[in-house]
Amino acid sequence: MDGARSNEAVYAYTSHQQAAMLWYHDHAMAITRLNNYAGLAGLYLIRDPFEEGLALPRGDFEVPLVLQDRNFTPDGALSYPAKGPSPYHPKWNPNFFGDTPVVNGKAYPFLAVEPRRYRLRFLNGSNQRFFHFWFQDGDTRRPFWLIGTDGGFRAAPLRLTSVLLAPASRLDLILDLTQVPQGSRITLMNDATTPYPQGGKDVPMPEIMQFQMTKTLSSPDRTTPAQQLALRPITPLAPTPGLPRREFVLIANKDAVGESTHLAINQRLFNDPVEDFPKVGTSEIWEYVNTSGDAHPMHVHLVQFQILNRQKFDAASYQAAYKTWVSGGRDPADKPILTRYLQGDPIAPMPEEMGWKDIVIAYPGMVSRIVLRFDLPEPIAAVPGTRSEFPAEYIQHCHMLEHEDNEMMRPWQVIR
């Protein structure tokens, strides 16, 4: 970019989008998992006039919570496995799950609270762990109201008693503690399997943190009850007529003895030539065809999208046919036709997934469909060199960082 001195770089972010909690992290090739684990990540809050006009909890009562899992040595240093199971990548592990919950950098923390409504802004900053969490209040689960997802506010508040949080996903919720007695302890609990959803690694993390009612009301709570909030309407995205759907086949490759070698999107490596060229201003349907046993949180850079639906398919038969097609030279005329392997009817997204997203969970044995619109950032008049240039290259990847680091990431380019 113009204006940078030697050995410097100037980055400009327009933030031309609605209020949301984003995050940033190191993206170094093949070591993203290590640098993120070491702490190179942070939150990025965008505000707008619509949000400012809502009577939401603010200041000390709006609490960002970054959930992570970590391993520690006896002297308190971070620990990460240095040896992997496969001779192909002796320093790479296909899975990592820490045994200690860390929230905002602290293990097993607590938050001293007072009897009022709190706005909790959750990020799952773990390398791979999913969280299915709830607020345990004595013998009951305390309900909460979901008001926002990855890309901003939902169309309406949603009452929940538990919710799934995939790696890199965010949730914006209201927890009402107005009637909670002094001395109460509310524990954030989790029962998501590792890996998700099939399990098998057995690294449970049932308790994450506590909310301890040890404060009295410091000022009147004049926030709007969550169920009465008038949030921003969301117009469903419609694909541009005449454009084909893009298929992205997710495969976990293994060697002859069943050890992981690498993961792939469409059996391509990251440095293979770009194959996907959406046009600026258009909207498309993308299909994630998951033949593996893991649920992959697929992340698309640049855009906020909407989840359309999911549909079961014969994963084993389709993967066999797809690999045969790849090894035979990828003749477009012989490519397996996905619709012939589909099973049952499409399934609508979960209510908590409805809204603006930049992460979609591609469940095993499912085709997960999203709708995306490709608008590029506007230039910043005060910063030279900030106009978008064509082709504009972005990436998509699995946000389980061990997968991303071993080829489950592909570039794509926006063209005119």
Model confidence over 390-414: pLDDT tens digits?
A: 999 999 999 999 999 999 999 999 9
Topology of 54-227 in CATH? Immunoglobulin-like (2.60.40)
Q: Give residues with Cβ within 8 angstroms of 197, minimum separation 6.
A: 130, 295, 363, 364
Q: Give residues with Cβ within 8 angstroms of 70, minimum separation 6.
A: 37, 78, 98, 100, 102, 107
Give the pLDDT score at 260.
87
Indicate the pLDDT class of residue 3, thresholds 50, 70 and 90.
low
Indicate the pLDDT class of residue 16, thresholds 50, 70 and 90.
confident
Give the span between the Cα atoms of 270 and 248, in whole angstroms: 13
Give the pLDDT score at 87.
82
The pLDDT of 372-387, averaged and rounded, is 84
Give the pLDDT score at 363.
99
Tens digits of residue pLDDT in 23-56: 999 999 999 999 999 999 999 999 999 999 999 9
Give the span between the Cα atoms of 278 and 284, in whole angstroms: 8
Indicate the pLDDT class of residue 375, thresholds 50, 70 and 90.
very high
The pLDDT of 323-334, averaged and rounded, is 98
Indicate the pLDDT class of residue 259, thresholds 50, 70 and 90.
confident
Indicate the pLDDT class of residue 13, thresholds 50, 70 and 90.
confident
pTM: 0.96
- pLDDT, averaged across the chain: 96
pLDDT at 384 over 80: no
Neighbours of 14 (CB within 10 A): 11
**pLDDT over 70, % of the chain:** 99
Give the pLDDT score at 117.
99
- Of 78-92, 200-214, 243-257, 377-391, the poorest mean pLDDT is in 377-391
Give the span between the Cα atoms of 165 and 123, in whole angstroms: 8
The pLDDT of 267-273, averaged and rounded, is 98
pLDDT at 81 over 70: yes
Length of the chain in terms of residues written: 416
Q: Would the CATH topology of 54-227 be identical to that of 246-414?
A: yes
Provide the residue type at 288 as one letter. Y
Give the pLDDT score at 11.
78
The beta strand positions in 58-138, using DSSP E, are: 62-72, 78-79, 100-103, 106-107, 110-113, 117-124, 131-137
Give the pLDDT score at 385.
74
Provide the residue type at 316 as one letter. A
Where helices occur in 41-127 by DSSP H, the ranges are 49-52
The pLDDT of 74-89, averaged and rounded, is 90
- Of the candidate CATH numbers 2.60.40.420, 3.30.465.10, 3.40.1410.10, 3.40.50.300, the domain formed by 246-414 belongs to 2.60.40.420
pLDDT at 1 over 60: no
Give the span between the Cα atoms of 410 and 50, in whole angstroms: 35
Indicate the SS3 state at residue 366. Answer: strand
Indicate the pLDDT class of residue 258, thresholds 50, 70 and 90.
confident
Q: Give residues with Cβ within 8 angstroms of 294, minimum separation 6.
A: 195, 196, 198, 252, 364, 400, 403
The pLDDT of 124-131, averaged and rounded, is 98
If DSSP states are collapsed to H, E and C, what string results for 275-327? CCCCECCCEEEEEEEECCCCCEEEEECCCCEEEEEEEEECHHHHHHHHHHHHH
Indicate the SS3 state at residue 332. Answer: helix
Provide the residue type at 76 as one letter. G
Tens digits of residue pLDDT in 171-210: 999 999 999 999 999 999 999 999 999 999 889 999 999 9
Indicate the pLDDT class of residue 378, thresholds 50, 70 and 90.
confident
Domain boundaries of the chain, sorted by first residue: 54-227, 246-414
Give the pLDDT score at 164.
99
